[in-house]
Homo-oligomer: A and B are copies of this chain.
Amino acid sequence: MNKQPKYRQVADVLRREIDNGIYAPGARLPSENDLQQRFDASRNTIRNGLSLLVSEGLITSSQGLGYEVKSHEVFELNATRFENLTFPQNGDAYSTDVTNAGRRPHQTFRVEMLPASKDVAERLKVPAGTKAVLRFCHRYVDDVPWSTQATYYPSWLVEASPRLAEPGDIEEGTTRYLASRGIEQVGYFDEIAARMPTPEEARLLEIGAGVPVMLWTRTGYSVDRPIRCTITTFRGDLNRMNYEIGELSARGENA
């Protein structure tokens, strides 16, 4: 006898019905009250089952509205083209990609100087606590928060390239600006991790329960040392990262 707790049975039944399309993406689930009668269970038990599905990222709940099946459209982000080594364009790639997808980009921007955290200092190969310039970007697509991007530059680099520390945008892109100052990025090292959002991240990206974030850390190198460290935080449900390696003429292009 495979006796599962009642709240798990509730979750299993509803999950299967969602998978089978009985409740399509965007559709509303029956109310807790209805489900109580259907499954002959208390409201707490039903809520336990539903909260399981919420934490799986399958449904969302909103007070006064009910439970809704999530629909997932993902945004493809090309990490190798995002910042082409031969044609650096930096932040522009985001606006271009989003516009090409028929969506409306929007971003806020700020610059500050602060001591580098341990993680950042390690990657920039400077002592922990050393001052670094942070250029921070909060990005939206169609007014939905999409990602945050924090780029740190070591102080030795800022002395040689003062515009990095100025609050304004850098028209030609930072990578190109640095190249014009004789500092060329010749390679980068990417790290990708996934975890549940901190409350701070959940707030900035307006993430509900059951949605992980992806952390994309890119450390850029000149010929002799690291010159920047960019940490991008995405909503995991709305983004997918792509890398193109080697010869891919056989792939063609999607739409």
Contacts and interface: CB of A to CB of B under 8 A. Distances in A.
Interface of A: 12, 15, 55-57, 74, 76, 79-80, 85, 185-199, 209-214, 219, 221-226, 236-237, 239-251
A104 to B, nearest CB: 24
A179 to B, nearest CB: 14
Given A187-B246, A243-B79, A250-B223, A192 B195 contact: no
Contacts of A189: 242-245, 248, 251
B85 A240 contact: no
B240 A196 contact: no
- Per assembly, the copies of the chain total 2
A247 B187 contact: yes
B224 A236 contact: no
Contacts of A193: 74, 236, 239-241
Nearest to A51: B51
A212 B6 CA distance: 25
Contacts of A225: 250
A235 to B, nearest CB: 9
Contacts of A222: 250
A245 B190 contact: yes
A236 B185 CA distance: 30
Contact of A221 (B194, B221, B248): B248
28 contacts: A12-B199, A55-B196, A55-B209, A56-B198, A57-B195, A76-B191, A79-B243, A85-B245, A186-B247, A187-B244, A187-B247, A188-B246, A188-B248, A189-B244, A189-B248, A189-B251, A191-B240, A192-B240, A192-B241, A192-B243, A193-B241, A194-B194, A194-B213, A195-B212, A196-B211, A221-B250, A223-B249, A225-B250
Contacts of A240: 191-193
Given A79-B243, A186-B246, 20 more contacts: A55-B209, A56-B196, A57-B196, A76-B191, A85-B246, A187-B245, A187-B246, A189-B244, A190-B242, A190-B243, A192-B192, A193-B241, A194-B194, A194-B213, A194-B214, A194-B236, A195-B236, A221-B246, A222-B250, A226-B251
